[in-house]
Structure 1
Amino acid sequence: MSALNSTQQVFDDEEPTIGKWVCQLLAVEGVIGVLGNLLVCIVILRIKLLHNMTNYLLVNLAVADMLLCLQCIFNGLIFHQDCKIIDYVPKTFVGKVAFCRFLQSDILSWAFSYASAYNLCVVTLERYVALVHPLQYARKLTTTRMKILITLIWMMSFLFSLPYLFLFKPSNDPDLVCSEIEYQDNTFHVLLGVFVFFSSYLLPLTLMSWAYYKIQVTLKRQAKALNLQHARAAAYDLVIARQRLVSMLTIVLGALIILWTPTNITFLVCVHGAFRGQIPFCGSNGFKYFKAIAHVVFYFNSVINPIIYELKYKKFRQGLKLTFCCCHKSHGANTVDIALVPL
């Protein structure tokens, strides 16, 4: 996902007008993403109707997306030559090490990206268990297990991002802060590209696709069984719920494919210019424009996540009304928690 490289790197040797347009767009995108995901956290944490495991996972996902959007704003305003408002250059050796290893390398952006991807997987798998194995839900997904799983996801996200510590080092040139670490061959960059493509894109996408497939197969089988038993009302309700669920999951999967594929293919094929000699397109101006568009598109996934996962969710809409409309009367007399079925 080369979209997570700093915008300064993305637009080296590009026209300032193009760079300024893109970094401003990223800043706006980041602000919208922060506000949208913050709204999700406020609504779910404030409304008791939404206090359950499913919605706490959605809060965790929103936090990861919000941090990624904050990093997007930070990169645009600190690193990009056309838009930066702070021209900070560390003077000490320790300051240069911290700047190059943790900021210039974008390790935080990668960590938040991994956290977003795998928290999204947890939400999908949690709903899979709730819909496919509802009788086993309480036994399989205990509060303790989910806390451990969430902790492991955040730890794994930072662990997977560690290779980016070895991309830049403090420069010996007094006019430069960082310089790219030179390797004897491109093996490190090639392995890094393959690892990132598999761990941040292919693996979570495969897990979610498998969960979506199993949900659809199970719901179809249950609907058929209900029809055979002449339970028409129940079968009709199940078909409607299935259609709504499949519609939401299709949007989720489609958004992932559309918004993540360009950046992941770019990083895999043209990672850090390793193949510019073998693939002419990687060094062309057309590639720079394509990379810029992919950069914007990638972060947009964190912007639309609140829309896909929360605004398509019936109880969240009720919570949104309760949060911003004091005159709205709660219909929470029903004690049955239907939060596991997004309607």
Structure 2
Amino acid sequence: MNATDEHNEEPTGEKWVCQVMAAEGVIGVLGNFLVCYVILRVKFLHNMTNYLLVNLAVADMLMCLQEFLYYLTSDCTPIEFAPVSNGVRDLFCRLLASKYLALVLSFASAYNLCVVTLERYIAIVHPLHYARKLTTARMVALITLVWVISFLISLPTLFTFEPSNDPNEMCSIKYPHPSLPILLGIFIFLFTYLLPLTLMSLAYYKMQVTLKIQVKALNLQHAKAAAYELLIARQKLVSMLKTVLGALIVLWTMEYFAVLLCLHRTDDAQFLFCGSQGFYYIRVFANLLFNFNSVINPFIYEFKYKKFRQGLKVAFCCCFKRHGGNRVGIEMVPL
């Protein structure tokens, strides 16, 4: 996901890279669509946290879709794609080859996860203010703001690629100013990686401390089982979200540090190895990991989120048991 990546930097023999990336895209689209379907279909999953997870899944699903379209139409795939129309070529270069959409959706994914974290933070650390601060109107406005800023803040990348006059190339790099790739690289690292991950890490640390204090308080008060069950459910949800954050940190770190290391990947780059074959393979692996982050969340929900597993069973059992008008209703009490 580097805004300064060149479209033609893949060696022609590395078709497997595009095939793996396209496969990642398909799996990610299907997995995130399943998350949206289950949460929206099952009534006991209808709460603020899960609606925010749907929004996050939409961002990841679109990320996987643009990944699939880019690598499907790349010249290193078995599929020959050569748009004749200048308008189509211009859209391809500016939206896909420039990584504009990838940057938009990675920014949206990071900050939509921040919104999920904010909702849990207020629910756990400031529960008395939850109903007043997190109204539906405010959350809709916040989500809308995240998406609008994601599109606007990525606009400079639209002007880094344009259709090439060379018949052997689809797109060519064109920087309005030589310092643009450097400024873009630093900006992307700071505001799409470092800032949201730091804020979320601090928030989850505070939530963990608060939950431990609440457990001690319940022990001292000899609270009823229902109170313990609610607290355990909160702890499990926070644990699942921490896993989502941990996966994001692990899978994004190599890509963003590679961006920061070689801000201008041409002959003017600050290190000679930035244009080497070895660095190319590092970037391929980093990009595979980066895109895999948009694929992995549905699997995390399945293994770490008990209510989602219950919802998955309800959604599909209800479909299978609706045969001949003899529907078997399955309702599960939310934790």
Pair 120,137 (structure 1): closer, same or farther in 2 beyond 3 Å: same
Deviation of residue 110 (structure 1)?
A: 1.5
- Tell me, in whole angstroms, the C-alpha distance in 1 between the residues paired with 2:267 and 2:250: 24
> Which structure 2 residues correspond to residues 16-165 of structure 1 after superposition, within 5 A?
16=13, 19-79=14-74, 81-83=75-77, 85-92=79-86, 94-165=87-158
- Tell me, in whole angstroms, the C-alpha distance in 2 between the residues paired with 1:53 and 1:240: 19
> Which structure 2 residues correspond to residues 142-221 of structure 1 after superposition, within 5 A?
142-173=135-166, 176-182=169-175, 185=178, 187-221=179-213
Pair 54,238 (structure 1): closer, same or farther in 2 beyond 3 Å: closer
- Tell me, in whole angstroms, the C-alpha distance in 2 between the residues paired with 1:210 and 1:87: 46
Determine if the alignment matches structure 1 residue 254 to structure 2 residue 249: no
Deviation of residue 230 (structure 1)?
A: 4.2
Match of 1:226 in 2: 218
Deviation of residue 65 (structure 1)?
A: 0.6
Match of 1:341 in 2: none
How does the TM-score come out when normalised to structure 1?
A: 0.85
RMSD, matched Cα: 2.7
Query: Across the two proteins, how many residue pairs are aligned to each other?
Result: 327
Gaps of 5+ in 1: 339-343
How does the TM-score come out when normalised to structure 2?
A: 0.87
The amino acid of 2:120's aligned partner reads R
- Tell me, in whole angstroms, the C-alpha distance in 2 between the residues paired with 1:111 and 1:151: 13
Decide whether the 8 Å contact of 1:38 with 1:62 is kept in 2: yes
Pair 154,4 (structure 1): closer, same or farther in 2 beyond 3 Å: farther
- Tell me, in whole angstroms, the C-alpha distance in 2 between the residues paired with 1:183 and 1:22: 30
Greater Cα offset, 274-283 or 136-145:
274-283
Pair 274,190 (structure 1): closer, same or farther in 2 beyond 3 Å: farther
Determine if the alignment matches structure 1 residue 2 to structure 2 residue 25: no
Partner-residue secondary structure (3-state), 2:162: strand
Decide whether the 8 Å contact of 2:55 with 2:112 is kept in 1: yes
Partner-residue secondary structure (3-state), 1:2: coil
Decide whether the 8 Å contact of 1:119 with 1:153 is kept in 2: yes
Pair 311,153 (structure 1): closer, same or farther in 2 beyond 3 Å: farther
Match of 1:330 in 2: 330
- Tell me, in whole angstroms, the C-alpha distance in 2 between the residues paired with 1:324 and 1:225: 40
Decide whether the 8 Å contact of 1:106 with 1:164 is kept in 2: yes
Paired-residue identity, %: 60
Decide whether the 8 Å contact of 1:76 with 1:84 is kept in 2: no
Gaps of 5+ in 2: 322-327
Deviation of residue 280 (structure 1)?
A: 2.3
Answer 1 or 2: higher relative contact order, Cα 8 Å, separation at least 6: 1
